Amino acid sequence: MVWGHHLLPGGPLPFCGGFSYREQGLQNPATAQSSAPGGGLMGKGYLVTGTDTGVGKTVITAALVGVWRRRGIDALAVKPVQSGAVMQDGQLIPEDAAFYRRAAGLSLPMDELNLYRFEPAVSPHLAAQLSGESIAPGRVVDFCRQALQKHHLTLVEGAGGLCVPLSGPEFTVAHLAGELSLPLLVVARPGLGSINHTVLTVAYARNAGLAVAGIIINGQKQEEAGPTEMNNPLVIEAMTGVRVLGIVPYLPAVSVEEGRTGGLLDAVEQAVAWRELL
């Protein structure tokens, strides 16, 4: 059976090129185990994905964790696999985790926030290959489980969108969410094209047996807020049945690359229904 055609009308989809998990001897995220092998208690968590790369997953992840921590909640963000890491003084810096530390005031060492880091700014499976390394799915899952076990609320940031291969087609971001039994938070763009990207992301998630807890629209420029931007959240909610938890404005003082966090926590605290995720 090809993974993922049961929830859409009209029979089997040519989904992922007809890729069959069972035929490949691989595990379907829909049937992944939820409990840790050691049986440890897991805290609450979400996997933060996006409709694309660069939609603002890191900004939203860091801000939510920062807002929760302000309220005294033991929240953490991890980025298990980072490509496009930056070389500084002979050391590879995983930029997303560095931003979490700065924006959310995390003091944990970088190695507890990020497991694999690669310099090439390409899909993780390729970045690893180009770096002469490989990603072990089991290590990625264990790394995230440890964070989930140690903290009350953990956000796991994927890479790019749901279909992005971490080690290869057998272990994508969707597989990671399935292995961890984490519901998704989907970060989406505000403008034209976003209905399609967001609805497709939610449909793919459901086909993979993943729950979607909410959608956050990020980067709304007030001067560009026209009929599309006003109408998108309504249509996205109607077509997915998932709540849009907030629309975060474009914040000129914020930059992941430059480590600038100006006004981010206040803006997200105001714009996003963060209490609903507790």
Ligand X SMILES: Nc1ncnc2c1ncn2[C@@H]1O[C@H](COP(=O)(O)OP(=O)(O)OP(=O)(O)O)[C@@H](O)[C@H]1O
**Binding stretches for Mg ion (CB under 5 A):** 57-58, 96
Q: How far apart are CA 139 and CA 157, in angstroms?
A: 16
Query: Site for ligand X (CB under 6 A): which residue of 54, 138, 241, 262?
Result: 54
Work out what residue 246 binds among ligand X, Mg ion, none; the CB cut-off runs from 5 to 8 Å by kind: none
Best CA proximity match to 251, nearest among 60, 104, 72: 60
Best CA proximity match to 156, nearest among 38, 61, 34, 41: 61
Work out what residue 250 binds among Mg ion, ligand X, none; the CB cut-off runs from 5 to 8 Å by kind: ligand X
Q: How far apart are CA 69 and CA 67, in angstroms?
A: 5
Stretch that binds ligand X, among 130-138, 225-233, 239-247, 255-263 (CB under 6 A): 255-263
Cα of first residue to Cα of last residue in the chain, in angstroms, is 37
Q: How far apart are CA 268 and CA 278, in angstroms?
A: 15
Question: Around Cβ 50, how many Cβ atoms within 10 Å?
Answer: 30
Q: Which is nearer to ligand X, 175 or 189 (CB)?
A: 189
Q: Which is nearer to ligand X, 105 or 249 (CB)?
A: 249
Structure tokens at 260: 């600038």
Q: Please state the closest distance from residue 88 (CB atom) to ligand X, in A.
A: 17
- For 117, the 3-state DSSP assignment is strand
Q: Which is nearer to ligand X, 138 or 262 (CB)?
A: 262
Q: Please state the closest distance from residue 252 (CB atom) to Mg ion, in A.
A: 19
Residues in the chain, total: 278
Work out what residue 257 binds among Mg ion, ligand X, none; the CB cut-off runs from 5 to 8 Å by kind: ligand X
Q: Which residue positions form the known binding site?
A: 54-59, 83, 96, 157-160, 249-251
Residues making contact with ligand X (CB under 6 A)? 50, 53-59, 96, 159-160, 218-219, 248, 250-251, 254-257
